[in-house]
Structure formats: C-alpha cells, structure tokens
C-alpha cells in the first residue's frame, strides 16, 4: 500500500506485537535548523509525519498509539513558538478529523486542558465525541501533558475521596492511582520510542512507563517514517520483558 505522500506502508509486523506504542516526537527544531528554516517549519513538517505515522500504525496492527505533542514544560518556549504549536493542533484536528473518523480512529487527548484556549478545548471535545465509538486504532494525543502534573492531579482526587470518607487510605493501591490518571482504561505503553537521539522521558508517562521498553531513534521527528516505526517494533520484539521475574528460559538477563 502507498500513502498519498508516496511512502510505502509496511505489512503488519509478525511476532509479538506491542499493543500500545507511545512516541516522544522530538527533533522538529533541529530538522528546521539543518535547512536554515524557522522552527515553525519543522513543526509543520512534524504534523505531516504525524499524519503518515497515524495511518501506518493502523496498518502495522498497533491498537493504541500515543503521541507526545506538547509538554507542560513547553510553555517555557517563546510565545510565538507556543502559538505555532497551538495553531498546528487546531490545523490537525480541522484538516484530519473527518478522515480519522472514516478510518475508525478513536481520538483522545490527554493532558491538562485548563490552560488551553476555549476554542481548542471545544475542538478536542468534538474530536473525542465524534470518534468515541471507533476502535480500529486508539490514538491518544498528549498535549499540555506532564507526567508529574498527571500524578499530582490523581493524588488530589484520591485525597478528596479520603476526605469525603469514600476511600480508606489503607485501600490505596497502584491501581487506585492508575484509575485516576488521564490514561485510565488504556493499557500501559509496551514500547516508548523517542526520536532525535535524545535519551530521556521529559516527563512523559512516568507512571505508565514503569516497565515499557524504550527505543531511541536517531531520526528527527519529521524524518521518522513508517519504516522507522517498523524497525522500532522489531527492536521491541528482540527484547526480553521480564517485569522483575525471569524469562521463559529461567534467565533474569542476557547471559
Ligand atoms: C519536538 O521538537 C516538538 C515539541 C517539543 C513540541 P522540538 O521542538 O523539541 O525540536 P528540537 O528538540 O528543538 O530539535
Ligand atoms: C519533549 O521534547 C516534549 C515533546 C516531544 C512534546 P522536548 O524537546 O520539550 O524535551 P527536552 O526539553 O529536550 O527534554
Ligand atoms: Mg526537543
């Protein structure tokens, strides 16, 4: 199958599949700098990569795809860049929502909406309502998302229940906290990919990623292709996930 961009989509990856793939889409600014273009041009090209990867994810058999689009720390950037990024979320929803819906994509936005412009919140609400019944690919966009804020907000909700007398402190388990996160009901990411060669989480899925496999790609996000995604999934398939136990051959690591 060929995309409108001319890029080939890979066939489904045989073998053990990650149900949930999450991507820290990094490197738009460097992509632009390499071409002596403004950072905004890198972000625009980054949206093109989002469109291609979302389409490819369904074809590769991924059930849940989460894309980190704007962190709670990205407000530290110049106001013009923040505005560009907000504008691109608007553009993405406006331009792609109907097609995503047609293709059975369920869209959900995670992160703090309180400080987003009212029109963006309305667009997010519309996208979520329109696609709520779709189940071919579950797409989470992490926007104004920060793992520490997400956990703090979950703890606030737990504290309120304790205060109201509806929850006993002794009954609080990891599942209680997980149930109050933005990702409640979504399986933890099996695979977290970060592009652009940076090797950190930058406050992404710090709770949910406790046992995620991490794959770092040197590709800058606008250059990340379905083939790069496929390679990351193949790397995932070579990993041995033990969750603190032993693997099938009784080993606790590579020997
Ligand atoms: C990722 O690209 C997009 C966002 C963080 C919003 P960057 O803008 O971080 O690009 P670099 O890291 O400066 O190259
Ligand atoms: C992480 O990238 C956030 C997103 C990809 C949305 P950053 O570029 O903001 O992260 P740092 O500053 O390099 O850690
Ligand atoms: Mg960056």
Q: Is the pTM of this model over 0.85?
A: yes
- Number of Cβ within a 10 Å radius of residue 201: 16
Cα of 202 vs centre of ligand 2, distance in Å, is: 6
Looking at residue 5, its pLDDT comes to: 45
* Averages of pLDDT over each 10 residues, the chain, 255 residues: 47 80 98 98 98 96 97 98 98 98 98 97 98 98 98 98 98 98 98 98 98 98 98 95 90 76
List residues near ligand 1 (CB under 6 A).
Answer: 25-30, 70, 74, 85, 196, 221
Looking at residue 228, its pLDDT comes to: 98
Spatial contact of 94 and 172, defined as CB atoms under 8 Å apart: no
Ligand 1 atom nearest residue 30's Cα: 14
Using CA atoms, how far apart are residues 183 and 178, in angstroms rounded to an integer? 8
Q: In what order do the strands lie in the sheet containing 105-110? A: 105-110, 137-145, 64-71, 20-24, 191-194, 213-216
Looking at residue 230, its pLDDT comes to: 96
Mutate which of 70, 148, 198, 202 to test ligand 2's pocket (most atoms within 8 Å of Cβ)? 202
Cα of 30 vs centre of ligand 3, distance in Å, is: 8
Helices 39-59, 226-238: crossing angle, 10 deg rounding: 60
What the chain holds in terms of domains, given with CATH numbers, is: 20-147+188-238 (3.40.1180.10)
Q: What is the pLDDT of residues 202-242, one digit of tens each?
A: 999 999 999 999 999 999 999 999 999 999 999 999 999 99
Looking at residue 253, its pLDDT comes to: 77
Using CA atoms, how far apart are residues 23 and 193, in angstroms rounded to an integer? 5
Residue 205 tokens read as: 């899925």
Cα of 119 vs centre of ligand 3, distance in Å, is: 26
Catalytic residue among 26, 84, 96, 188: 26
Query: Count of residues for the chain?
Result: 255
């Amino acid at each position: 199958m060929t995309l409108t961009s001319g890029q080939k989509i890979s066939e489904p990856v045989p073998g053990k599949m990650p149900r949930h793939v999450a991507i820290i889409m990094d490197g738009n600014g460097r992509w632009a700098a390499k071409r002596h273009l403004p950072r905004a041009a890198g972000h625009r090209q980054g949206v093109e990569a989002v469109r291609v990867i979302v389409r490819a994810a369904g074809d590769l058999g991924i059930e849940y795809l989460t894309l980190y689009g704007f962190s709670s720390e990205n407000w530290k950037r110049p106001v013009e860049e923040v505005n560009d990024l907000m504008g691109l979320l608007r553009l993405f929803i406006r331009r792609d929502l109907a097609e995503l819906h047609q293709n059975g994509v369920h869209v959900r936005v995670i992160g703090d909406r309180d400080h987003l412009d009212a029109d963006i919140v309305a667009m997010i609400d519309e996208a979520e309502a329109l696609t709520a019944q779709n189940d071919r690919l579950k797409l989470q966009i992490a926007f104004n998302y920060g793992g520490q804020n997400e956990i703090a907000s979950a703890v606030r909700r737990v504290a309120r229940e304790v205060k109201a007398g509806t929850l006993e402190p002794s009954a609080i388990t990891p599942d209680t906290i997980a149930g109050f996160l933005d990702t409640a009901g979504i399986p933890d990411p099996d695979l977290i990919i970060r592009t652009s060669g940076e090797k950190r989480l930058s406050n992404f899925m710090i709770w949910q990623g406790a046992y995620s496999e991490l794959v770092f790609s040197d590709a800058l996000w606008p250059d990340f292709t379905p083939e790069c995604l496929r390679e990351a999934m193949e790397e995932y398939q070579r990993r041995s996930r033990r969750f603190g136990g032993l693997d099938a051959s009784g080993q606790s690591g590579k020997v």
